Homo-oligomer: A and B are copies of this chain.
């Protein structure tokens, strides 16, 4: 599995030990911006992640306490949601999205882009509280 090896005491380096790859943040993006939550959902994203990489990253994110597995009904029997630690990554995803939009003038959803330009902090607060609520709804025993 992708190992988290701390290269230095620098917090930027520490973050890159987690997110310094092409896939980890895409899974979080799928959850945060596209409402996805199953293995199959992630697999269908346009970037075409391989199954073994996806398995690996989900395991890593779960072990690191950013994602939690929960049982679901229907064909997919497992879902993934952000934990309280996981939602703290939302600002990073948002900055990546904004940079991509500015350099590539491609669109996120237009509404979201507009909302972000108007009140970035507010959008982040909203997304965070939404995913915290999802987390709590899957967690029988909130602390």
Contact = CB atoms under 8 A, between A and B. Distances in A.
Interface of A: 6-17, 19-23, 25-26, 29, 33, 45-48, 85, 88-89, 91-93, 95-104, 106-108
Contact of A15 (B8, B48, B97): B97
Contacts of A11: 96-101, 104, 106-108
Contacts of A26: 12-13, 16
Q: Is the interface of A mostly helix, strand, loop or mixed?
A: helix
Number of copies: 2
Contact of A92 (B85, B88, B95): B95
Given A21-B20, A104-B14, A9 B88 contact: no
A95 B95 CA distance: 8
